Amino acid sequence: MKLVVPQEIIENEHRVGVTPDCVGSFVKMGFKVFVQSNAGLGSSYTDESYKKSGAQIVKKLNDLYSKADLVVKIQRPSKINKINEFSHLKNCNILTLMYEQKFKSEFNALKKLNINLFALERMPRISRAQSMDVLSSQSNLSGYKAVIDAASIFNKAFPLMMTSAGTVAPAKVLVIGAGVAGLQAIATAKRLGAVVSSFDVRASTKEQVESLGAKFIEVEGGDSGETAAGYAKEMSKSYKKKQASLLEENLKKTDIVITTALIPGKPSPKIVTKKMVDNMKVGSVIIDLASEFGGNCELTKHAQTVDYKSVKIIGPSNLPSSVAQDSSRLYSKNVLNFLVNSCESGKFKSFKWDDEVVKETCIINNLHKKEQKK
């Protein structure tokens, strides 16, 4: 079977779908791996490193996609300038991050093709799928990088310092949302010496937050704030009112805010209001990891830095891409584990269509439906 790894064409995307360390494992599963020339350079993986691992390097897109069985990408297929990825996708399985509710035009174009599309962000949150969970692996690095970027922008030091010239007070960091990104942000901020607190609507996250050495900010009398799948859910108006009052008081004392709150399938909840920002300290920094889906702060603009009354509100465009070498490697391993899940005796022949992780992630199965009719 032919596994294809194209170079990403979306701006500011430096990751690659498969890294050289995983190529050997794909080959053992029965794949022949074809990588577009320079596809890994943005992640510091050279064509030579792919060749040594057993992949073939292809320069022309027509040759790359010809008779492809499986296409592994980071970003959704797109048409940008002279490159039309849709025209190359025929009779193949595509593994990618799709977000079809946000990128409807691309999704509608893909629905017309004879393909199977697996949206890896839809991986179910079950224990056996943890090693396949692309969102977790990428969010983990986003949480880390958000704190590193905040530390470089913030005009004070993070840790407590006792010097002969006086004492430097530690930075105060508030992390909103204690999912994978939030927990890594907490851990990173603590390592840098900050005083850290965290807020999440899910009461079940309190123990995790406190185990990392952060203070958990809790709305009294609220429900669990959690869906059966373990994600945060939309809260009542009464809860939101209490939440706003509690956060406003805490934000007055905060230097850096990292927001990570997302609700699957819906725009990001607006948690930090303009009024709250008005009362924040001079020189404060907000990094809004939910900016691509509308942002958790009312003033956030995706892929931009907003200077508002001496507070910087940053909506990063693609944090995992800024640590592309590691994020690509983890993504590649997630994809490998996903395919291993459908292997028999170590070989991949087809997806196990009755398996939960396959059913949940496959959002277009035009090719599979035709095979069933035959």
Q: Where are the domains of the chain?
A: 2-122+323-368, 140-321
- Reply yes or no on whether 326 is catalytic: no
- Reply yes or no on whether 69 is catalytic: no
Structure pTM? 0.92
- Reply yes or no on whether 125 is catalytic: yes
Tokens encoding 36: 């577009």
Question: Catalytic: which of 25, 36, 136, 137?
Answer: 136
Cα angle 366-372-374, degrees, rounded to a multiple of 5: 110
Question: Catalytic: which of 66, 69, 131, 231?
Answer: 231
Q: Among 3.40.50.720, 3.40.50.1110, 3.30.365.10, 2.40.50.140, what is the CATH number of 2-122+323-368?
A: 3.40.50.720
- 267-282 confidence digits (pLDDT tens): 899 999 999 999 999 9
The dihedral of CA 238, 241, 244, 247: what is its sign? negative
- Reply yes or no on whether 136 is catalytic: yes
Q: Give the residue among 120, 262, 294 at the shortest CA–CA distance from 180.
A: 262
CATH superfamily of domain region 140-321: NAD(P)-binding Rossmann-like Domain (3.40.50.720)
- 98-123 confidence digits (pLDDT tens): 999 999 999 999 999 999 999 999 99
Query: What does the pLDDT read at residue 367?
Result: 85
Question: Catalytic: which of 44, 69, 78, 125?
Answer: 125
Question: Catalytic: which of 133, 200, 288, 326?
Answer: 133
- C-alpha R_g of the chain: 22
* Phi and psi at residue 232, to the nearest 5°: -70, 150
- 164-212 confidence digits (pLDDT tens): 999 999 999 999 999 999 999 999 999 999 999 999 988 889 999 999 9
- Reply yes or no on whether 184 is catalytic: no
CA distance 351 to 358: 7
